[in-house]
Amino acid sequence: MMMSIRRFAILFASVCGNLPHNATGLLSNSQHIHASSKLTHAHTYTYTYTYTQSISPIRPARSSHIVPLLAQNNPNDESSMLTRFTSPKIADPGLPLADALIAQIVAPSLQVFWLVSQAAPSPTWLQPLFPTSQLLTTRGSLVAPTLIHGAGLASCWLLAALAAKAYEREGFDISEENGSSYAEVLWRLVQAGAFAVGLLILSTQFDLFWEFGGKFVQYGDGEDSNLRILTAAVEVINDCFFEGIALGSWRLYRASLTKDGIDWS
């Protein structure tokens, strides 16, 4: 009976792949030992435990999928979201400045000129900053409010461009040496635009929260709040439209300059 248990244990270990290449010799040796001697139950248990432990190979630990996920969120990793803001890659140092000027001055000015030409109501942010008088009724109601509002729009775009890696060479260089294309430029523009729209909507919500005395308002709370929410929604749509036209045109033109392989940075 003890002989059959021994043979079954060794055969089971060989099937599981725990025996080395000389498993056949070990099997014959174990048969010879049990045929020539009689061992007690305690001795057999001790021998079996030692034998099994000695021939079991050390298997390598299985690779886990958690390590790559943690590496993606590592702040020291170049591909992490935090690194895009703390250590951005800017191939053209003048490109962020050009984007800021277009987002702050060109796009809001185009919006004001278009609304005035269409005799449309002025946006709420286009209000005089100083008390008006009878002589100077429009003092500080055009340039200063436009620059202040444009500064907020430029901040949203710069953060969005960093998040979408739009300042890397692949975001504006379509030369053959770089290997990029208009499709890559447009894709990064779409990513940056979506991020900027989200920031603009979030800042508008905080502006309404501050305007109504620390109260979150929704459509349907009252006539005054309904009118203000609709006005803010229209202004956000106008900001997104004119900023998209101005920045999109500028970025496509900047990419076309690199088509012939000329470095304009």
User: Quick check: 40 pLDDT over 60?
Assistant: no
* Maximum Cα–Cα distance across the chain: 124
Query: In terms of pLDDT, which residue wins out, 193 or 128?
Result: 193
Euclidean distance between CA atoms 208 and 201, whole angstroms: 11
21-42 b/e with 16+ CB inside 10 Å = b?
eebeebbeebeeeeeeeeeeee
Distance between CA atoms of 243 and 40, rounded to whole angstroms?
90
Identity of the amino acid at 138: T
Q: What angle do CA 153, 86, 179 make, to 5 degrees?
A: 80
Per cent of the chain over pLDDT 70 is: 64
Model-level pTM? 0.66
Write the pLDDT tens digit of every residue in 169-211. Answer: 889 988 877 777 899 999 999 999 999 999 999 999 999 999 9
Q: What is the pLDDT of residues 49-95, one digit of tens each?
A: 444 444 444 444 444 443 333 334 454 555 578 898 898 999 999 99
Spans of all domains in the chain: 2-55, 81-256
Average pLDDT for 8-12: 55
